[in-house]
């Protein structure tokens, strides 16, 4: 009994505390990995790959208009404009929007055609956290163009009061 009450050899109170503190960042990192309902930049990359395949994504031609700071993640207004003559020979076939931190990486995919006249969509999206939003345009010649923007979200979607 007396033996058990004695501190274990080599284990001082100070030492144990220090070891605990050192283990903290590792523990925090682990919980991040385990957290289920959050997409990661990798998941966004996979979702983009599903649309794009092995084609290269070029920068330019696409403009993603989204406010750099949003107070309410439940409704973030954004617009995607693509430079294109929108003729039968050269037009935008689709515009896709992706995010990296919502539970799912897809936001919306809009299929357009030469009859649109102007390759632009405006919509409102949900963002759960501060993150990067990516717009990808698929052109009739098979090329892909993209633009990304970082949005700081003060109050994320999904944090509102749960319904009873």
Partner 1 sequence: MTAQALIHFPKKAKRGEVIEIRTMISHVMETGFRRTQSGEPIPRNIITTFTCHYDGAEICRAQLFPAMTANPFLIFRTVATETGKLVFKWTGDNGFSAEETAAIEVE
Q: Which one-letter DSSP state was computed for residue 30?
A: H
Residue 106, classed as helix, strand or coil, is strand
Q: How far apart are CA 107 and CA 95, in angstroms?
A: 11
Compute the least distance from the CB of residue 53 to partner 1, in Å: 17
Site for partner 1 contains 104 (CB under 8 A): yes
Site for partner 1 contains 74 (CB under 8 A): yes
Site for partner 1 contains 13 (CB under 8 A): no
Residue where the block lists tokens 């990661």: 40
Structural contact between residues 107 and 99, judged by C-beta atoms closer than 8 angstroms: yes
Interstrand relation of 76-82 and 120-125 (parallel, antiparallel or unpaired): antiparallel
Among 17, 118, 152, 155, binds partner 1 (CB under 8 A): 118
CB nearer to partner 1: pick between 74 and 146: 74
Compute the least distance from the CB of residue 60 to partner 1, in Å: 21
Site for partner 1 contains 106 (CB under 8 A): yes
Q: How far apart are CA 47 and CA 112, in angstroms?
A: 20
Which residues form the interface with partner 1 (CB under 8 A)? 37, 74-75, 99, 102-104, 106-113, 115-118, 120-127, 158, 162-164
């Amino acid at each position: 009994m007396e033996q058990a009450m004695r501190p274990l050899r080599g284990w001082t109170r100070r030492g144990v505390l220090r070891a605990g503190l050192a283990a903290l960042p590792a523990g925090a990192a682990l919980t991040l990995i385990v957290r289920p309902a959050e997409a990661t930049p990798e998941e966004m990359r996979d979702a983009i790959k599903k649309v794009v395949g092995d084609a290269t994504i070029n920068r330019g031609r696409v403009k993603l208009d989204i406010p750099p700071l949003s107070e309410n993640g439940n409704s973030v207004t954004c617009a995607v404009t693509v430079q294109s003559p929108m003729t039968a020979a050269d037009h935008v076939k689709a515009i896709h929007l992706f995010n990296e931190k919502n539970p799912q990486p897809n936001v919306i995919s809009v299929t357009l055609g030469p009859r649109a006249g102007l390759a632009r969509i405006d919509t409102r999206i949900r963002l759960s956290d501060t993150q990067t939003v990516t717009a990808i345009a698929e052109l009739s010649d098979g090329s892909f163009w993209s633009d990304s923007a970082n949005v700081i979200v003060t109050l994320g979607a999904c944090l509102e009061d749960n319904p009873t």
